[in-house]
Amino acid sequence: MEEQVIRKYLFLEDLESWLLSQGINETFAQFFKVAISLAAIFILALIADFIAKRIFLTTMARVARRTKTDWDDVLVEKRFFHRLAHFAPAIVVYLTLGIALYDYSPKVTLFLQALTKIYMIFIAINVFNAFIDTVNEIYQELPYAKNRPIKGYLQVLKIIIYVFAGILVIGIIINKNPASILVGLGASTAVLMLVFKDVITGLVASIQLSANEMLRLGDWIEMPGRNLDGTVVDISLTTVKVQNFDNTITTVPPFALINESFKNWRGMEESAGRRVMKSIIIDSKTVKFCDKQLIQKLSNINLIASKVKDIDVDKLHETDPIQLMNVGAQTNLNLFRQYVQEYLNHHPEVNKNLTLVVRLKQPIEYGIPLEIYCFLKEKRFVQFEIIQSEIIDHIMAALPVFDLKVFQRMSSDDIRAIAKGN
């Protein structure tokens, strides 16, 4: 092999012989030959780098712009070809380095070649990372990517590549076959499992979250134990990032979502409505039987006119509660509850196909809770709150029409008014 190299690069020997014939000592002549060889390698590496970066990269960028597919554009964006171009000068140096130093210093040659191989391994890792990132970004554009994220699996693949790259680098440094290093690692499996415990746990949790469709990108989740309430923006191997509604980012490990309970609002978003469940505390002292005057006033309300007209007002000429009770008079609270029911039935934003009920709950020390339970068609947060508020304030404003009042604690102004006899 050495003889073939000498014959192939005979000009180096001729150069050294010529320098010796000029009276230059052997050490300087050999050093000068090596210096010229290294300079030539450096120039060749620069030419290879220029061709790879100026010509290859420019060509690939133009091709990516002209094609209709997106994957090549993402490869350019993730600098895949830019990182791949670093191989050109590295390969030139590796192939020519041994020739320049073959008879000068074998140890230096082996050392520099080992450094070059390590450098090429790091280039390969960067190229692989760019390719994996491209695969993930292209996958995110697919319609089912939201339900089946693969970022965690790709991170596992990266970790495997890092481990193998590290084994290759160690093998180059200690000048041993990487296969023998892998055999030695088998005895230290328990140590590796301890080191990568979080990674393994995160991988298992990520698989469970994905397989059981417990969590997807864009889901609104609540986890009070960790002060978490917002939208899932990222699911990786070891972390789940949630952007809270105050724009802060909360990061939790995937296994926390498996071991602890959390609320996922996806079911609501995919359903036909978002629930409204509000209670208004009615002052129990204002509940009474409706007399003739009140019924005549309520008969002008369109939503309950049909219910009020069936009431025989002639029987309600008395104002005594006992007399009204004897003739079966309606209570103002009952008519108000029916009014709210009809109001919701006629509201355009209320979904009538889902549960809709207005009920009285167990009386409490503050009064009688009137609960509104229904579902709105609008599920977006801001619009939902606006419609819900409009419904509640309408109901509150309708209370006095029925001679009802909402319970409210006495304020200091109320106490002063009582003291003044007002």
d(CA 149, CA 211): 10
Stretch (H or E) spanning 371: strand 368-376
Report whether 281 contacts 366 (CB < 8 A): yes
**Per residue in 283-292, pLDDT tens?**
989 998 887 7
Higher-pLDDT residue of 419, 407: 407
User: How many Cα atoms are found within 13 Å in the side-chain-facing hemisphere of 421?
Assistant: 0
* Domains along the sequence of the chain with CATH: 2-206 (no CATH), 212-265 (2.30.30.60), 271-288+331-412 (3.30.70.100)
Q: Which of 150-164, 249-263, 272-286, 318-332 has the highest mean pLDDT?
A: 272-286
Tens digits of per-residue pLDDT, 398-415? 999 999 999 887 766 667
Residue 339 has a pLDDT of 93
Indicate the pairing of strand 368-376 with strand 249-252. unpaired
Most confident of 84-98, 158-172, 233-247, 275-289: 275-289
Nearest to 391 by CA among 280, 272, 284: 280
Highest average pLDDT, of 9-23, 70-84, 296-310, 312-326, comes from 296-310
pTM of the model: 0.55
Q: How far apart are CA 48 and CA 92, in angstroms?
A: 7
Name the average pLDDT for the chain.
Answer: 78
According to the model, what pLDDT value does residue 186 have?
60
User: Quick one: average pLDDT of 301-320?
Assistant: 71
Measured distance CA(262)–CA(249) in Å, rounded: 17
H or E segment and range at residue 358: strand 357-360
Amino acid at site 296: Q
Nearest-angstrom CA–CA distance, 311 and 328: 10
